[in-house]
Amino acid sequence: MKSEPHEFSFDDLVKAPGKRTPWFGVRNYQARNFMRDQMQPDDPVFFYHSSCPEPGIAGIAEVASPPYPDATQFDVKSKYYDPAATPEIPRWFHVDVKMAKKTPFVSLAELRCHRELAGMRLLQKGNRLSITPVDPREWKFITEKLLKL
DNA sequence: GCCAACGTTGGC
DNA sequence: GCCAACGTTGGC
């Protein structure tokens, strides 16, 4: 899951109440569908910093709730307000995310160095999705070989 | 700031 | 349903 660290960094998650946060603000259908349809409580997540001087994996989090409507879609004051959404028929769903493990930083440049990760969706040319699935083999390689957990 | 690669919008 | 125009993402 990508986050811009000047908006919300992994350290912000560590400092958040309960070390958790709703993953609000996703306004892309594919990314929404991953949260709504694919993610389960306790699923592990790489917390990725994007749009910053050094993009990369900043830590490990986990899914901490079932999917539920993103409250910001109903909030006219929010930049994530969606006039087409109503509480009766919400459009945007998200999960809560909880800090799981502080890890060494793994930069995007490093991720790109390993042929084992060449197929990783996050690294594909043109990928802009803020949430992408991680193949179990890719998860294993990163956690065992790069993070040495 | 540039720009490739998408995704969304809206007229037809 | 098509597709041009426009907006966004995100690495560089």
A86 touches strand B (CB under 7 A): no
Please report the pLDDT score of residue A31 as a whole number.
97
pLDDT in tens, A45-100: 999 999 999 999 999 999 999 999 999 999 999 999 999 999 999 999 999 999 99
Residues in chain A: 149
Please report the pLDDT score of residue A106 as a whole number.
98
Share of chain A above pLDDT 70, in %: 100
A51 touches strand B (CB under 7 A): no
Q: Residue A73: which of A88, A59, A85 has the closest Cα?
A: A85
What is the CATH T-level fold of the domain A2-146, as seen in this structure?
ph1033 like fold (3.10.590)
A107 touches strand C (CB under 7 A): no
Please report the pLDDT score of residue A118 as a whole number.
96
pLDDT in tens, A11-34: 999 999 999 999 999 999 999 999
Residues 33-52 of A with CB under 7 A from strand C: 50-52
Nearest-CA residue relative to C1' of B7: A28
pLDDT in tens, A92-133: 999 999 999 999 999 999 999 999 999 999 999 999 999 999
A123 touches strand C (CB under 7 A): no
Enumerate the domain spans of chain A: 2-146
3-state SS, one letter per residue, for chain A: CEECCCCCCHHHHHHCHHHEEECCCCCCHHHHHHHHHHCCCCCEEEEEECCCCCCEEEEEEEECCCCEECHHHHCCCCCCCCCCCCCCCCCCEECEEEEEEEEEEEEHHHHCCCHHHCCCHHHCCCCCCCCCCCCHHHHHHHHHHHCCC
